[in-house]
């Protein structure tokens, strides 16, 4: 018996109708970043487990720190998938400090967040460039994980009018190494870097414009069928207070939520998903 098979997670519950055939399901992701103790995570899991139903037209994923993955897999409700926040470029072997996609898959993780702006920028160390993010994405997909691929511009790039140039430069290396079939297991998380953790948020109209442009780029450079199917999440300080306005836009298919995912406000975002 595998570890994940031995985990007796409490059952979740759903409400409403499934997304009609051919319509994209919403994807609400939480990114706990490098936060939480065993005590605080146990408390949050208990709150999430008692939070009531999740809309049937929405998939929910929590990206927790590596050390809390087993705890989440053992005790978080079974209708919330578990993501890692990073994986290595390598397989298993003599790579001290690295955690491979195959190891994550083996323990029961189903998603990984790659290309997050904080990792692209670095924090006291070299950041990850788009070629590295693309190679990690390909490796994760080969090992059976799904990928939330993060892209987005900085404040000065937004002000210079180069938002889509930046997004395209981050997407192209990925498009160069993925097969068309690979994209079925990828979501794109558009995260305007200037809105992450700053309290600033793109207006729904601003976010929709960029999401539509990203979908157009995928249509032109990967395929119209991929563009129509891929979930594009908004990752710039979504919270309960603004989720409804953002999620009502036609090309915003969910969120990748940071600070709010560490509180019950996360379920306010989930509840804001439009009905199927």
The catalytic residues are 116, 191
What tokens were used for 253?
Answer: 């298919």
Residues 171, 137: Cα–Cα separation, whole Å = 11
Q: Mind giving me the DSSP string for 171-208?
A: HHHHHHH--TGGGGGEEEEE--GGGSSSS----HHHHH
Residue 274: both structure tokens together: 């439009």
Query: Using CA atoms, how far apart are residues 94 and 23, in angstroms rounded to an integer?
Result: 44
Q: What is the DSSP string of 110-147?
A: -EEEES-HHHHH-SSSPPPPHHHHHHHHHHHHHTT-EE
Distance (Å, whole) CA 264 – CA 52: 11
Instruction: Please answer whether residues 89 and 104 qualify as being in contact, where contact means their C-beta atoms are separated by less than 8 angstroms.
Output: no
DSSP 52-102: --EETTEEEEEE--GGGHHHHHHHS-TTEEEEES---SS-SSS-TT---HH
110 exposed, middle or buried (CB, 10 Å; 0-12, 13-18, 19+)?
middle
Distance CA 112, CA 276 (A): 27
């Amino acid at each position: 018996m595998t570890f994940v098979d031995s985990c007796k997670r409490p059952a979740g519950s759903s409400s409403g109708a499934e997304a009609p055939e051919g319509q994209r399901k919403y994807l609400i992701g939480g990114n706990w970043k490098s936060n939480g103790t065993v005590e605080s995570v146990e408390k949050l899991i208990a709150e999430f487990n008692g939070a009531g139903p999740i809309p049937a037209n929405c998939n929910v994923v929590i990206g927790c720190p590596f050390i809390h993955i087993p705890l989440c897999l053992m005790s978080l409700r079974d209708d919330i998938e578990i993501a890692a926040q990073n994986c290595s470029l390598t397989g298993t072997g003599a790579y001290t400090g690295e955690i491979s996609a195959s190891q994550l898959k083996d323990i029961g993780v189903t998603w990984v967040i790659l290309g997050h702006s904080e990792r692209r920028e670095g924090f006291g160390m070299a950041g990850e460039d788009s070629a590295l993010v693309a190679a990690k994405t390909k490796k994760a997909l080969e090992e059976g994980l799904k990928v939330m691929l993060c892209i987005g511009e900085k404040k000065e790039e937004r002000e210079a009018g180069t938002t889509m140039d930046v997004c395209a430069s981050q997407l192209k290396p990925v498009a160069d190494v993925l097969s068309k079939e690979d994209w079925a297991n990828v979501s794109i998380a558009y995260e305007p870097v200037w809105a992450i953790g700053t309290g600033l948020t793109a207006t729904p109209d601003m976010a929709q414009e960029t999401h539509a442009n990203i979908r157009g780029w995928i249509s032109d450079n990967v395929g119209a069928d991929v563009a129509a199917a891929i979930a594009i999440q908004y990752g710039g300080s979504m919270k309960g207070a603004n989720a409804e306005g953002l999620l009502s836009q036609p090309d915003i298919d969910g969120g990748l939520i940071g600070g709010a995912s560490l509180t019950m406000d996360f379920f306010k975002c989930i509840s804001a998903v439009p009905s199927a």
